[in-house]
Every structure is written in C-alpha cells, then in structure tokens.
Structure 1
Amino acid sequence: MDIFIIILKIIIIIGILNVWLLRFNTKTEWRGNGASNMNEEFSNYGLPSWFVPVIGFLKIGFAALLVISIFKTDANLGLIGAVGMGVLMIGAIGMHVKIKDTLKRSLPAFLMLVMSAIIALF
C-alpha cells in the first residue's frame, strides 16, 4: 500500500505542477468554459483576479507537502497536503458546476479529489 500511496502523491504533484507552472498560460480542453489561460478561467468562474495567485500558492504548497511526506514519513504532512488538496478540488468541481461545464472538464479535479481522499484515508 505504501508504494500505491507514493504513486498517487507523485501523480498529484506532477498534475499540479503541469497545470500551474507549465500550462498556466495555455489553452487546454480542461479549462472552465473553454478559457485560454488560468486568469481567464478564474474570470469565467466569476472569481476576482487576486484568487489566481492565492489558489496557485495553496495548490503548489499542498503539493509540496505531499512531496516532503514521501521522504519524511513520521509527520502528518501527507495528511495535511491531501486534505488541503481535496478541499481545493471540491471547490474546483463546484466552479465547473457553477458555470455548467461538461462533466469531462470536471474529470481532472474529480480524479485529484479521489486520489487525495485515498491518501488522507491511508
């Protein structure tokens, strides 16, 4: 089970870094309401522009806790990272629902939520 949890943590970490660092200004098929970048996506959700760096900081921060928890297993860092990420993913799903996005666009957030829940439970 330990290897499985580590794999889930790595998938979350790579996913967050991909979206928030590599593809921040890129149009993807997953962006809310067909936005062309992260700022436009948050605008489509009706969120203020200052939310973008705050959510980005939180997501990268929780991902960092997941990284650290791979190497420092005696702390609750993995639990904090997983629960924090899960809460953010619930919010992401809520935003997709709010703007009546297709289920496909909510899929990455849903999968991250499931992986975060598994990490938190085990």
Structure 2
Amino acid sequence: MFIATAVLSLLLALAFAGAGFPKLSGKDDMAAQLSRLGVSAGLMRVIGALEILGAVGLIAGLWIEVLGVAAATGLALLMAGAVASHIKARDTAKHTLPSLVLLILSATALGLGLAG
C-alpha cells in the first residue's frame, strides 16, 4: 500500500505545485481565469500558497504520516471549494473537471494515508 500512496502523493504534489506557483506569482492569465469565479488577486495568492504547502506536505507525509494526512485533507477541502466555485459560477464541465479529479485523487490519498 505504501507504493500506491507514494506514487499518488508524488503525482498530486507535482500537480498542485504546478497549479500553485502561477497563482502565487500572480500571473495575469491565471488572475483572469479566477476572476471569472469571483476570486480576487489576494485570494488567488493564498490559494496558490496553500496548494504549494499541500504539495510539500504530501511529500513530507511519506516520512511523517500525519503530515501527509493533513495535507491530503487540506487539498481535498480546497478542491471541494474549487468545485463549488465552478458550479456557483455555472462554469462548463471542461473547466470544472480538473478540480473534481484533483478532489477525488486528494480524497483517495487521504484514504490511503488513513489506512496506512
């Protein structure tokens, strides 16, 4: 089970780091995308920082389980909020699906962490 947890954690960490850095740096195209959902520039940076911290927590969780569980929980909650924001904004399925997939994968990592 550790191998599945490690692979999923590493892939999620890459995905969230890749999504977090453009938000944290305040990229204009990212700000434009998120403004459609009613996310301010300041909140965008907070979300980016949380995604990066979550990615670090997933990696650290390979050695300290409680950190991995906490990171997976936080990222699942963050993605639940993202899905809710997309739905509230009546966004297309194409734009909502990535957040939904990351929510499911984060919840899976959480389940694996709790089972381990």
Q: Could you state the TM-score of these two structures normalised by the residue count of structure 2?
A: 0.84
Structure that is richer in helix per residue: 2
In the TM superposition, structure 1's runs of 4+ consecutive aligned residues that sit over 4 Å from their partners are none
Give yes or no for the alignment of 1:60 onto 2:52.
Answer: yes
Partner Cα separation in structure 1 for residue 2 and residue 66 of structure 2: 15
Tell me if the contact between 2:20 and 2:49 (Cα under 8 Å) persists in the aligned partners: no
1:74-109: CA deviations, max 9, x gaps? x40011000000000001111111221111211111
With over 3 angstroms needed to count, the CA separation of the structure-2 counterparts of 1:52 and 1:22, relative to structure 1, is: closer
**Structure 2 segments unaligned to the other structure (5+ residues):** none
Partner Cα separation in structure 1 for residue 87 and residue 57 of structure 2: 28
Map residues 19-38 of structure 1 onto 2, 5 A cutoff: 19-21=19-21, 25=27, 37-38=29-30
Report percent identity of matched pairs. Answer: 28
Question: What does residue 78 of structure 1 align with?
Answer: 68
**Structure 1 segments unaligned to the other structure (5+ residues):** 26-35
Question: What does residue 10 of structure 2 align with?
Answer: 10
Amino acid at match of 1:55: I
Partner Cα separation in structure 2 for residue 97 and residue 87 of structure 1: 15
Give yes or no for the alignment of 1:118 onto 2:108.
Answer: yes
Give yes or no for the alignment of 1:104 onto 2:66.
Answer: no
Partner Cα separation in structure 2 for residue 10 and residue 53 of structure 1: 23
Q: Could you state the TM-score of these two structures normalised by the residue count of structure 1?
A: 0.80
Tell me if the contact between 2:21 and 2:52 (Cα under 8 Å) persists in the aligned partners: no
Map residues 34-53 of structure 1 onto 2, 5 A cutoff: 37-53=29-45
